[in-house]
Structure 1
Amino acid sequence: MKQKLFYVILIASFALSAVAHYSHMSKTLQFVLCCIAVVFAAGFMGKATESVAHYAGERIGGFLNATFGNAAELIIAIFLVKDGLYDMVKASITGSIIGNMLLVLGLSVLLGGLKFKVQKFNVMLAGYNASLMLLAVVALFIPALFAKSFTTKETDTLSLIVAVILIVAYALWLLFSMITHKEELADVAAVQAEEAHAHEINWSKGKSVLFLVIATVMVAFISEWLVGTLEEFTHKFGLSELFVGAFLIAIIGNAAEHSAAVFLALKNKIGAAVEIAIGSSLQIALFVAPVLVLVSYFMGNTMNIVFTVYELAAIGVSAVIAKSISQDGSTSWYEGVLLLVVYVILGIAFYLV
């Protein structure tokens, strides 16, 4: 019954947002309808990715959850790049990184911890995640540090080189974590929990893949409609591009991770939830952001990878506390509270900028 209601709302919200867009209703109404539609479409995507993950295996499943969960952010960002809204793109990248590390991980740890006193996951994987988070911070700090000493052309060149290096580093991480050291990084507890809940998967492999494709197409359309409303909506309510990009777009785009990660944490699969949350942040920093730089280059106007002091501070703070909490391979509900407190503080600061 609940599933039928979800699908009805999903189809209705998608149809209403389409009607609002093509009939040129007010931008505010379009924005609201698109936000509702993308949340349900992302939820549908989260369920589809979890189903695919069941057939593909735990590590690949976590990667697929993070990848398709980031599809909404990537699609929205590409349309923003196309429109030349680079500041909003960087803000949305920042928001995605801190949103996953603080909001998604915080909610997962809090709600999972309220149900299970202590939740544990692979310590070795936690250590590598922490190191990769620091790599992401360093890679974003360096261009900003040297930008004032460079010409625009030199900054663009450095951004392109850093982008390529980060993509290569991320590809090597996938090789390391999924092939050469797959067994060492496996989460035994998560695999056991998956086996215990296997009966809950009620889609076939083919249907799961089909629904994942449909969900991705839906998110792509809604994202394009949503981007078309942002400029007028931002001006009407006096919101900064920094706040809209870093929090509104990020929260909307992260809906798939919210649903999937929290759902897994409540099943005592905190390892998979951490993989989605931190893995998604790493994917944004080491793959999505560099890809957007390359996409902008091929569109004829390179978007540099120089972030503002506010954005760098937010990413740095998020990485430090997420590293501190996750590096021991265990979590409790209070650690989730700590992550959410930092997220709220950053949200208020960004709103007041």
Structure 2
Amino acid sequence: MKWLRYLTIFVPVAFLLEFVPALKNDLLLFVVCCLGLVPLAGFLGEATEELSVHTGPKVGGLLNATLGNAAELIIAIVALSQGKLELVKASITGSILGNLLLILGLSLLLGGLRNGIQRFDRQAAGVAASMMTLAVIGLIVPTMFEVVREVQFGTLDLLSTAVDDPALNNLSLGVAAILIALYMLNLLFTFRQPERGMGGHAGVDAKLDNGEHHVARWSVRTAVGVLAISTLGIVFLSEFLVGAVEPFAEALGLSEFFIGIIIIPIVGNVAEHIVAVQMAIKNKMDLAITIAMGSSMQVALLVGPLLVFVSLLFGPELTLFFTVIEVVALALSVLIATIISVDGESNWLEGAQLLAVYAIIALGFFYLLANVPEAETLRMLLPGMG
């Protein structure tokens, strides 16, 4: 995927669009930031892979498990600092859905078309599926808790999760702590049974496609330098991107919710997604499923819960209260991914099924708040919605 490196040219272009008044264009800035974040996220992943070679499998596995979704985490933290809690929640949901449905679906579809019936470790997939089920439970409980409370007090608003409920805040912190602890237990299990671990991250030139030992191409100093520069670049471009979300949404008639749930998650993980699909095409389904489901697990059990605690630094607290349609979509996605992976075999039709579910969910999210006046009318027509 060396061609992704050429997208690095959009990084300085983003700075020019942001700081040169004569070139200011929010619509173009958003697109350029998206393109510039792709190679930066890839470099960050590649630097992590190189450090893993130097540190050995134990520490390397820990690096991959904690930095695999660093780009998404940085974007979300920047959004939190600007008070865009709904955008952050949408990006968490979108990242999980994207990995479970879009990326896994593409992997199964293209891999099946190329290789026919493909097989993988059903036990490893089963562990990942059970962990994702527990993660979804961790999102459903706070959501149902708050819905019941709003029904009880007559303040239910199905189109917004922006509430000020101290009980919900405390519940979210508790659930987030439990999910993070569960993720740590999963790491412990993975280290003790590395052949069945679900994790890992792919950079721009990840060497996951051969059975040979990965020999380090960068020194530790170079890897750390690339990691630091990539992280800094992602921070700046994330700041530009989040600032341009609202004007971009208005210009195209989209909701910020749709941008957060579809566009931003794809931008933060393009390099890793491409590697997953490549592995499936090369008939390495264990690696493809490891990347797709492992990334979903990391977002659901580490990134999302961690953001709940990070939000304490910025004022309004991020909670695990999601819209009902989000938790339903997550639950159904985990269910179909589990059904498909339970037999340890895959084919192109199962990939098409996952992609169909993703398309249906994306259409639902697109039309949910596509027309703001209609949403306001809905609030007026339905009693008890504020």
Q: Which amino acid aligns with 2:9?
A: A
Relative to structure 2, which stretch is displaced further, 48-57 or 144-153?
48-57
Q: How does 1:43-54 map to 2 (within 5 A)?
A: 43-49=42-48
Cα RMSD, aligned residues only: 2.8
Q: How does 1:124-135 map to 2 (within 5 A)?
A: 124-135=123-134
Match of 1:277 in 2: 292
Q: Secondary structure at the match of 2:194?
A: coil
Please give the alpha-carbon distance, in whole angstroms, between the structure 2 residues aligned to 1:116 and 1:52.
Answer: 33
- State the TM-score, normalizing by the size of structure 1: 0.87
Match of 2:169 in 1: 156
Please give the alpha-carbon distance, in whole angstroms, between the structure 1 residues aligned to 2:278 and 2:228.
Answer: 21
In the alignment, which of 300, 303, 307 is matched to residue 315 of structure 2?
300
Please give the alpha-carbon distance, in whole angstroms, between the structure 1 residues aligned to 2:320 and 2:307.
Answer: 9
Alignment of 1:171 with 2:187, yes or no, is no
CA deviation vs aligned residue, 1:288-312 (integer Å, no higher than 9, x gap): 1111111112333211110001111
Structure 2: gaps of 5 or more residues:
150-163, 200-206, 369-386
Please give the alpha-carbon distance, in whole angstroms, between the structure 2 residues aligned to 1:194 and 1:10.
Answer: 22
CA deviation vs aligned residue, 1:57-100 (integer Å, no higher than 9, x gap): 88987875565442221111111111111111111111011011
Please give the alpha-carbon distance, in whole angstroms, between the structure 2 residues aligned to 1:16 and 1:132.
Answer: 41
Identity %: 44
Q: Which amino acid aligns with 2:212?
A: A
Match of 1:10 in 2: 7
Alignment of 1:233 with 2:232, yes or no, is no
Please give the alpha-carbon distance, in whole angstroms, between the structure 1 residues aligned to 2:242 and 2:197.
Answer: 39
Higher-helix-fraction structure: 1
Q: Which amino acid aligns with 2:16?
A: V
CA deviation vs aligned residue, 1:229-250 (integer Å, no higher than 9, x gap): 0111112222112211100112
Please give the alpha-carbon distance, in whole angstroms, between the structure 2 residues aligned to 1:169 and 1:105.
Answer: 23
Structure with greater Cα Rg: 2
Q: Secondary structure at the match of 2:321?
A: coil
Match of 1:190 in 2: none
Match of 1:198 in 2: 212
Q: How does 1:82-231 map to 2 (within 5 A)?
A: 82-150=81-149, 152-179=165-192, 181-183=193-195, 185=197, 196=210, 198=212, 203-204=217-218, 206=220, 207-208=222-223, 210-231=225-246
Please give the alpha-carbon distance, in whole angstroms, between the structure 2 residues aligned to 1:110 and 1:280.
Answer: 19
Please give the alpha-carbon distance, in whole angstroms, between the structure 1 residues aligned to 2:66 and 2:270.
Answer: 13
Structure 1: gaps of 5 or more residues:
188-192
CA deviation vs aligned residue, 1:188-225 (integer Å, no higher than 9, x gap): xxxxx968453896724535554444433332322221
In the alignment, which of 19, 23, 33 is matched to residue 20 of structure 2?
23
Please give the alpha-carbon distance, in whole angstroms, between the structure 2 residues aligned to 1:269 and 1:51.
Answer: 22
Offset, 1:39: 2.1
Contact 1:102 1:322 (C-alpha < 8 Å) held by counterparts: yes
Please give the alpha-carbon distance, in whole angstroms, between the structure 1 residues aligned to 2:98 and 2:61.
Answer: 17
Relative to structure 2, which stretch is displaced further, 301-310 or 324-333?
324-333
Query: What count of residue pairs does the alignment treat as equivalent?
Result: 344
